Amino acid sequence: MDTMTNLKGETGRDARRRIRAGAARLPTSGMAPGYVQGNLAILPKALAADFARFCMLNPKPCPLLGQSEPGDWRLPTLGEDLDIRTDIPLYRIWKNGEMVEEVTDLKGVWRDDLVSFVLGCSFSFEEALIENGLELRHQSCNSNVPMFRTNIECAPAGPFHGPMVVSMRPFKPADAIRAVQVTTRFPSVHGAPVHLGKPEMIGIKDIGKPDYGDAVPVRDDEYPVFWACGVTPQSVVATVKPEFCITHAPGYMLITDLLNSRLAVL
């Protein structure tokens, strides 16, 4: 399985091996269909307890799928052979809140005090929405999902605080109701929407000007539907300006051995 031509039967482990071998330095969307992909944040141990508590207090934007032991590059609950230093195609290195470098593995920068956090991402529930016959507008537009900073404050923990970031997908009313039902089943990957229509109520001034990602059209017979977004922890960490931290590069996710369908609580 060394090509992009047949990913249908690719497992999470297959995909990580391709990535680890340098054979897939690409965004991970579409790789290992059906397997959970996650956001990555790696922080020094001095910040780890507060960040873990921040995730616990804010499960909708920060659904924690895995947390490593300090200095350990393994995350066996997410993948038997998983090595967080090599299994993501592209990483970002941050120093004092500034992105200083993009790298394809972490072997040169690894430290014994680093703790890895893997957070659920919307790919999992988007797969379920598509299986339900719902259109994802940003996919139809071949663009990134639009994301907005809101006036919803996350519950603070130590130095970590800040507003929730949401992603937006437009749906007709009956489809919005179905989307609530479908995503409610997936609390570990952002779960149900946090808001629906009326963007001004959560501090969004212009639905046509997202803070991240690309604008998509919302038709007159549709509502913008808002889900808590994994960009929230990234934006919160950036505010804290840790002396050192690591994230995945946007779109280059960690592919796990978990099945999306098994994340459904029912």
User: Contact positions toward a copy of itself, by CB under 8 A?
Assistant: 172-174, 176-177, 180-181, 184, 192-198, 201, 221, 223, 266
Give the residue with the Cβ less far from a copy of itself, 24 or 182: 182
Of 194 and 240, nearer to a copy of itself (C-beta) is: 194
Indicate the residue among 117 and 171 with the shorter CB distance to a copy of itself. 171
Chain centroid to Cα 168, Å, comes to 14
Identity of the residue, 38 or 199, whose beta carbon is nearer to a copy of itself in the bound complex: 199
Asked if 215 contacts 145 with a C-beta cutoff of 8 angstroms, the reply is: no
Strand ranges (DSSP E) for the chain? 35-44, 64-67, 91-95, 98-103, 114-120, 147-153, 163-171, 195-196, 223-228, 245-248, 254-259
CB of 163 to a copy of itself, least distance (A): 16
Least Å distance, CB 204 to a copy of itself, is: 12
Q: Provide the CA 33 distance to its chain's centre, in angstroms.
A: 16
Q: Are 113 and 46 in contact (CB under 8 A)?
A: yes
State the nearest-atom distance from the C-beta of 145 to a copy of itself, in Å.
Answer: 19
CB of 197 to a copy of itself, least distance (A): 6
* Segment (H or E) for 125: helix 123-131
